[in-house]
Structure 1
Amino acid sequence: MRSLTLAEARERSSLLTVTSYAVDLDLDQGAEVFGSRTSVRFTCAQPGADSWVDLKARSVETISLNGRSLDPADVVDGRLPLRDLAADNELVVAATMAYSHDGQGLHRATDPADDRDYVYGHLFLDAAPSVYACFDQPDLKAPYDVTVRAPLDWIVLGNGAATQSGAGTWHLETTKPLATYFMTVCAGPYVSVRDEHDGIPLGVHARASLREPLERHAAELFDVTKRSFDYFHGLFGIRYPFGEYHQVFVPEFNAGAMENPGCVTFRDQYLYRGAATRDELLTRANTVSHEMSHMWFGDIVTMKWWDDLWLNESFAEYMSHRCLVDATEFTDAWVDSSIVRKVWGYGAERSPSTHPVAGVEALDAQSALQNFDGISYAKGAATLRQLIAYVGDDQFIAGVRAYLTDKSYGNGTLADFLAAIETASGKDLTSWSRAWLLTADRDTLSVEVQEQGGVVGSAVVHRESPADRPADRPHAFDVAGWTDGREVARVRTTVSADETVLAELEGGPVPALLLPNASDLTWARVRLDDATVAGLREQLAQVPDEQARAVVWSALVDGVHGATVDPRDFLDVFDAAWPLETNSSILTRVASYAEHRVVPFFVPRAEQADALARLNRAGTALLERATPGTTESLAAARLVAGTSDDEALLQSWADGQGLPAGLEDDGDFRWIVVRNLASRGLVDAGDIDAFRAKDDTLQGGLNALMCRASLPDPEAKAWAWQQLTGQEGRSNYEMVHLARGFWAAPDDALVADYVSRYFTDVPAMSGWVGEDALSRVVLVAYPRVFTDETARLSAETIARDDLTPAVHRSLVDADAELREALASRAAFGAAV
């Protein structure tokens, strides 16, 4: 299918104004297809001109434009030409559409727990025409009237309040003007919990088999929802305008959530079936608040074109963390950002695919998707924090209010947003935006101290800008130091030159641990001095500032990836500091990085068993002394379950015997154990099927696929590869879980033949897998055989000119991680 270009979008929006959509969906036609009838009214600024409407149908039954019939055969490559338009037009299209199984369009999934089907719409970027005929670009917004026919035992939810007018027939209240990609319908035998706040009807919904976790978590979900509403109403000065507010937890969702006005969709893994750590609850709360902030920034005001996607995501990323800190119990949300979101963003910044936060002109819709990453989210949010430091918080909020008011129900651009901030603050943002928004990459911050008898003689902050992407970024941040747990220095500074003297540190004691950007206020590579790195084993656990500890761990992760920190040093610090960690985000995320990234990527294969044993010992030690049922206990148990080689322990836990307190009926925890057993060849496919029988759910089926793919024998690998890359009808989630297990192997020989096959078989999947889903499969399925031959094949594939944009971008990012691993092993392999 052709991807809409920026030039085409500008031409069409200059010609057409869409006034309304009436969409009639018939979801009662079986499991494969649904009926779609669209009536769209629009005006044409130049009567007699030609245009087109977007339509990706299984078949088209009838088309009429202003009462005259059009030939369905005219639909070519997803477009229906519209010729000789009148000043006022009505287009009516009746078509049959196909349900998707890759998380895009109208996705239909069967829950094996009860064999009931669920449908949800995810129309992001360019999937709307697979549901209804539309002018699919973000600046042609219009109100919607939607009618849905569904099986009698289904309920229907959507952007407008749903009312049932007859058996199986539902009408959704007319919406405010929406961009095409925000229209959604969720339908199925969903179960619901409802509430109300400040005159806004609220609902949370999930599959029937998730009734228990939905009801168990509903109170907390509503609490975060209500607090976020109150906070954003006060901050923006504009009331939520989209009527009811539903949050639907849907199966097989590609992202974390989607901000459809009035009907937000979430991945249903957020309804934790078993035990959840505090940081998992924080992540969910952040997602709830993030999507709500989009109701203003994204939904009320939508970007004009996809190259301003950052206006949506950076703003929501910043506002959700701000809201959690100011209005909820999750006051450590910025700590979580440091060790989760910014680590993700720094990874995107290290890749050759790095790009500026804004100003990258997306020449077509699909290329815009390639900039939908940790830079758009985490770097953009950090950039907004620097903007606030530059202009002042009151001035920033005043500018945001003016922008939202002026552009309500319309579209905005980077220029519009900056103009509003400039007017409110009285500051020219030209040079600031050039440095922070329009230039890729990041600076490196370090502090050089000259010591005189244990006293700081001089202290200088060094700001190094990348030579190939020079920028003059001002950084507002702090430098702090600790010795044996006591804070001995803290200086706030604004750095606007390559060297800045910190006179406030002079004459004070030299800290054992000296940390630039200690409060993580800016976006930069933090370079720790040699004395600090050497002292981390003894000093880090004593630092009482959890935000600073997160910055240290982030710097260590960044250094391992950049081949400036020996993975051995990382593991030494892990041994010493991780078991004493008290912040849940640091505790769980650092353990995950150590187990799933540092050891398998950066430690040579011959040393990995010993490295995993170190992690297991740390987990066991924490598990033995942690209070049962706490985050510490759960994090430790998960680490032990994933790293232990104690067959007796693993078998007993898999059988439900001797489990840590709180995990007795936790099916998700059992699957961690089973995957460990499977990867070691200590269970077979029949055993996995038996465990699946105990957890006959959608998630249980996915975990079983991952475990089968992990089995260390040729037959299992051949089966998994066919299920992954053959046209076997696997869903987006099934493909990702197969890929997650596939490269688990006791040695490279077992999977070596699949390295070359990956570079032919996986890109070819673009013929039947949507770009959004395939981009994830490409990353997860990338070979975990870290050799020069893999790098050679990877480079050859990236150079091909027949790759889709999503496949190419994911290959570039995966290739960058491979080369990081090779560089680290070359630098430190012998030492490890």
Structure 2
Amino acid sequence: MPSANLTRAETAERSRAVSVRSYHVDLDLRGAPDAGNPCFATTTTVEFTATTDATWLDFLGPRVESVALNDAAVPVRYDGARIGLSGLRAHNVVTVVATADYSRSGEGLHRYVDPADGQTYLYTQYEPADARRVFACFEQPDMKAPFTFVVSAPAGWQVLSNRHVAERESLGDAQTVKFAPTLPISTYITAVVAGPYHRAESSWSRDELTVPLAVSCRASLAQYLDADAVFAVTRQGMDFYAEHFGYPYPFGKYDQVFVPEYNLGAMENPGCVTFTEAYVFRGAATAAQYQARANTILHEMAHMWFGDLVTMTWWDDLWLKESFADYMGALVSAEATEFTDAWVAFANRRKAWAYLQDQLPTTHPIVADIVDLEAAKLNFDGITYAKGASVLKQLVAFVGRDAFFEGARRYFRRHAFGNTTLADLLTELSATSGRDLSEWARAWLQTSGVSTLTLEDAGEGWSAIVQRPARPHRLAVGHYDFDEHGDLVCRRRVEVDLEAERTVFESAPAPLILLDDADLTYAKVRLDPRSLETVEHSLDRVVDPLARGSIWSALWNATRDGELTAARYLAAVRRFAVAEPNPALLTALLTNAPYAIEHYLPPASRPGQRRRWLEAAWTAVFTTAPGSDEQLAWARAVAVAAAVDDTRAAEVRAILDGTGKTPDGLRLDPDLRWQLWTALAATGHAESADLDGELARDDTGSGRTARLRALAARPLPAVKDQAWTAIFTDTALSNEHLDATIAGFRAGAHRELIAPFDDDYFAAIRTVWSERSIEMARRIVVGLFPAGNTLEPSDRWLEAHADAPAALRRLVVEQRDHLARDLRAQALR
């Protein structure tokens, strides 16, 4: 479908010529429980004005039955992506009757059958442009309109959308639900959710406003849904935004639905937010997991204003919503919930994602040049989210908190239910702060790359901060020394404004000097030699968790950049991680350590380091406090480590079958059991019968996905060949099952088993890109990229496929760059 990839230029031309007045969308989902029925009926009536004779509606579906324009039937002109319209008047009404497909990729209207009870569940996911998979529309964010949804569904189902139910009619074993019209919103944030969802209800009130709240999930997960905890964070967020945004929540009710096989963490559909089911914890969960869920809840809630009320004109300004939501998620978590250390998690998890993305050859400015939808799809990255949020944190320090929020309030009032660009926001912030932000925007929003800060001795009580490349920063430099208890505490903090490449400031010798203390700016920080020596001996004596997080971030970035050996980084993790009390930092360390082993160590060094890491994790499980978050985190680390080293395979199996000693207090929930079984499978210590037996204990959606991953992890040539074939030929695999098969194929330390597929990968990916949806194709291209010891195959492909779609080339270039970084780090001695 060559016309499916909409461009910025053509959509801008369309919005200049067409203004949408309203949509009326009828969806017939009564046949959804019939797995043999791949389609549903969709009828859309669009009212719009036009100053052109011709335009088009977007639709991706198997067929369009009829088109009526201004009460007259017209010939159907449909190419598989666009419905051509001509003979337009100043005022038009078009009705499209069509057939759409249920999705198994998480794009459009996704259908899921719960193996636990056989029930069918539906939900929509559209961003950036998949509403057209469900109804005919003008698929671009700047053509806002009110939507009225009418949904026919089986009787007894919950049926939800952006607004409250206006009418409900029951007819035997079916129902028809009509929703109140929405306020003017973009197509990509409309939503329909339907199925026998379990539902809990509450409310939030402030002043004269009462907002009905609800939390929903699949019926088979109801026993695990901690709705009261979700409601608590929701109310805290509503309170904060009501106080700071000065614009009452505009969308009536507030549903939050946890849905299966979700491609994202969540989506900010106004009044009907959808979340991944990973946030419904089937077993034990750490404080870090609860903190991450709270952050996501608050992130999506911020979108009700940044993104839904005021929306970017095109995807170039995606940061106008995502950067703000990412920043607000951390800010509100820290200031309004129990998760007061949220900035620690942000500094280590979110910013690490940004630093990674911003050092790729495909990096881009926060305000990006997005020429089409394929580029937009790949722009939901660490730069748009985490770098943008980091820069906003710096902006707040630059203009002041009061000016920042007053600017936001003016922005909401002036542009409510409209579309904006960068200039609109800067106008308001400049007015409230009294600062000309054009230079700040040029330096931070319209350039790419991350600065690196190093400390130099400038002599006679002075130091210098050298930054490359140079940007304006406002930061603090912390001077840390040991107190009478042997703890490292900040004795002196100096605020410094950086403008040039080299900035001199008054300083004093200290065992540890930490640039960007309090993590105010966005930059990689290098530790000077004395500070590095101090932290390698005494990092656990740094009392402030945010300072520890900054130090760990500095060590990790130096390792990734090939300035600190992976072995040295791993030694620090083994020494200090077991005593790390902050759950977000511990989670990051337990993620980074195995990655460093497999990517940044030379192959000859890996077996010994794998064994050391497994033993460190194994010991920690038995020595940390029984039943603690730390014990659970280390048990998960054991499962990861045991997938590449089978030293403890017998003990792991004994824990699973109940014949061995389980660490006191360890919560051996289904997810942990599957992780351990996958480790055994990947090292050749579990057979299909073992995995079938575990499935009998946990025959759920999660259990079936985990079994698929474990089966593909077995180190047998025939198994790898079967997985490879399924990935490329079984189009019935859902998004989640495709991921599981890819993960199993790659699992374990058996590069020799998958290396024979390298040439097949490069031969197949262009066809995959043309035949699969971008979501499914991206998973294959990224997930199966060969992790060999040479760049030659990827270089050959890039040279031979200069004409390949830009989004596909971007993915290959990025994966090649990751491999190049691995090889540089492995060469460090």
TM-score with structure 2 setting the length:
0.94
Unaligned runs of 5+ in 1: 466-470
CA distance in 2, matches of 1:34, 1:265: 22
Question: Any conservation in 2 of the 1:772–1:806 contact (CA below 8 Å)?
Answer: no
| Secondary structure at 1:273 match in 2 | coil
Q: Which residue of 16, 21, 24 maps to 1:22?
A: 24
| Secondary structure at 1:344 match in 2 | helix
Partner of 2:149: 146
Question: Any conservation in 2 of the 1:525–1:555 contact (CA below 8 Å)?
Answer: yes
Question: Any conservation in 1 of the 2:155–2:170 contact (CA below 8 Å)?
Answer: no
User: 5 Å matches for 1:591-670?
Assistant: 591-595=590-594, 597-644=595-642, 645-656=647-658, 658-661=661-664, 663-670=666-673
How far residue 24 of structure 1 moved from its aligned partner, in angstroms, is: 0.4
- 1:286 maps onto 2:327 in alignment: no
Question: Any conservation in 1 of the 2:475–2:517 contact (CA below 8 Å)?
Answer: no
Partner of 1:468: none
Instruction: Tell me which amino acid in the other structure corresponds to 1:183.
Output: T
CA distance in 1, matches of 2:692, 2:770: 31
| Secondary structure at 1:193 match in 2 | strand
Instruction: Tell me which amino acid in the other structure corresponds to 1:538.
Output: H
Partner of 2:808: 807
CA distance in 1, matches of 2:269, 2:329: 17
Partner of 1:246: 255
Q: Which residue of 212, 216, 219 maps to 1:208?
A: 219
Kindly provide the CA deviation profile for residues 640-672 of structure 1, in whole angstroms up to 9, marking residues without a partner as x: 233242122110222245434554450000011
Instruction: Tell me which amino acid in the other structure corresponds to 1:367.
Output: A
Instruction: Tell me which amino acid in the other structure corresponds to 1:173.
Output: A
Kindly provide the CA deviation profile for residues 589-629 of structure 1, in whole angstroms up to 9, marking residues without a partner as x: 2111112x111111233322221222223223332332222
How far residue 537 of structure 1 moved from its aligned partner, in angstroms, is: 2.4
Partner of 1:193: 200
User: 5 Å matches for 1:368-447?
Assistant: 368-447=376-455
Question: Any conservation in 2 of the 1:184–1:263 contact (CA below 8 Å)?
Answer: yes
- Percent identity, aligned pairs only, is 38
User: 5 Å matches for 1:776-791?
Assistant: 776-784=779-787, 786-788=788-790, 791=791
CA distance in 2, matches of 1:373, 1:656: 43
CA distance in 2, matches of 1:746, 1:329: 40
- 1:264 maps onto 2:273 in alignment: yes
Partner of 1:7: 9
Partner of 1:276: 285
How far residue 802 of structure 1 moved from its aligned partner, in angstroms, is: 5.1
- 1:766 maps onto 2:775 in alignment: no
CA distance in 2, matches of 1:152, 1:406: 44
Kindly provide the CA deviation profile for residues 199-226 of structure 1, in whole angstroms up to 9, marking residues without a partner as x: 1111111111111111xx2111100001
CA distance in 1, matches of 2:657, 2:493: 52
Which has the larger displacement, 636-645 or 249-258?
Answer: 636-645
| Secondary structure at 2:61 match in 1 | coil
Partner of 1:795: 795
- 1:357 maps onto 2:353 in alignment: no
| Secondary structure at 1:149 match in 2 | strand
Q: CA RMSD in A?
A: 1.7
Partner of 2:557: 558
Question: Any conservation in 2 of the 1:203–1:245 contact (CA below 8 Å)?
Answer: yes
Residues 732 and 807 from structure 1, CA distance in 2 versus in 1: closer, same or farther, beyond 3 angstroms?
farther
Instruction: Tell me which amino acid in the other structure corresponds to 2:9.
Output: A
CA distance in 1, matches of 2:412, 2:699: 47
Q: Which residue of 307, 315, 328 maps to 1:306?
A: 315
| Secondary structure at 1:175 match in 2 | coil
Unaligned runs of 5+ in 2: none
How far residue 700 of structure 1 moved from its aligned partner, in angstroms, is: 1.1
CA distance in 2, matches of 1:739, 1:307: 32
CA distance in 2, matches of 1:680, 1:826: 28
Partner of 1:686: 689
Q: Which residue of 338, 342, 345 maps to 1:329?
A: 338
- 1:823 maps onto 2:827 in alignment: no
How many corresponding residue pairs?
Answer: 805
Question: Any conservation in 2 of the 1:111–1:117 contact (CA below 8 Å)?
Answer: yes
Q: Which residue of 68, 74, 79 maps to 1:70?
A: 74
CA distance in 2, matches of 1:482, 1:722: 59
CA distance in 1, matches of 2:584, 2:749: 31
Instruction: Tell me which amino acid in the other structure corresponds to 1:736.
Output: D
Which has the larger displacement, 758-767 or 680-689?
Answer: 758-767
Question: Any conservation in 2 of the 1:250–1:265 contact (CA below 8 Å)?
Answer: yes
Which has the larger displacement, 670-679 or 489-498?
Answer: 489-498
| Secondary structure at 1:150 match in 2 | strand
How far residue 450 of structure 1 moved from its aligned partner, in angstroms, is: 6.3
Partner of 1:476: 475
Question: Any conservation in 1 of the 2:473–2:521 contact (CA below 8 Å)?
Answer: no
| Secondary structure at 2:430 match in 1 | helix
CA distance in 2, matches of 1:473, 1:776: 38
TM-score with structure 1 setting the length:
0.94
Residues 655 and 761 from structure 1, CA distance in 2 versus in 1: closer, same or farther, beyond 3 angstroms?
farther
Question: Any conservation in 2 of the 1:370–1:805 contact (CA below 8 Å)?
Answer: no
Question: Any conservation in 2 of the 1:105–1:122 contact (CA below 8 Å)?
Answer: yes
How far residue 728 of structure 1 moved from its aligned partner, in angstroms, is: 4.0
Question: Any conservation in 2 of the 1:204–1:247 contact (CA below 8 Å)?
Answer: yes
Kindly provide the CA deviation profile for residues 782-813 of structure 1, in whole angstroms up to 9, marking residues without a partner as x: 223x311xx21112233414544443322222
CA distance in 2, matches of 1:767, 1:80: 21
Residues 164 and 662 from structure 1, CA distance in 2 versus in 1: closer, same or farther, beyond 3 angstroms?
farther
Which has the larger displacement, 760-769 or 437-446?
Answer: 760-769
Runs of 4+ in 1 over 6 A off after TM superposition: none
Partner of 1:582: 581
Instruction: Tell me which amino acid in the other structure corresponds to 2:577.
Output: W
Partner of 1:183: 190
How far residue 34 of structure 1 moved from its aligned partner, in angstroms, is: 0.8
Which has the larger displacement, 583-592 or 631-640?
Answer: 631-640
| Secondary structure at 1:404 match in 2 | helix
Question: Any conservation in 1 of the 2:284–2:667 contact (CA below 8 Å)?
Answer: no
CA distance in 2, matches of 1:754, 1:533: 43
- 1:756 maps onto 2:759 in alignment: yes
Kindly provide the CA deviation profile for residues 134-173 of structure 1, in whole angstroms up to 9, marking residues without a partner as x: 0111010001110111122321111111353224211112
CA distance in 1, matches of 2:535, 2:608: 22
Question: Any conservation in 1 of the 2:471–2:498 contact (CA below 8 Å)?
Answer: no
| Secondary structure at 1:224 match in 2 | helix
Question: Any conservation in 1 of the 2:357–2:363 contact (CA below 8 Å)?
Answer: yes
Q: Which residue of 690, 712, 722 maps to 1:719?
A: 722
Residues 661 and 132 from structure 1, CA distance in 2 versus in 1: closer, same or farther, beyond 3 angstroms?
farther
Partner of 2:545: 546
How far residue 86 of structure 1 moved from its aligned partner, in angstroms, is: 1.1
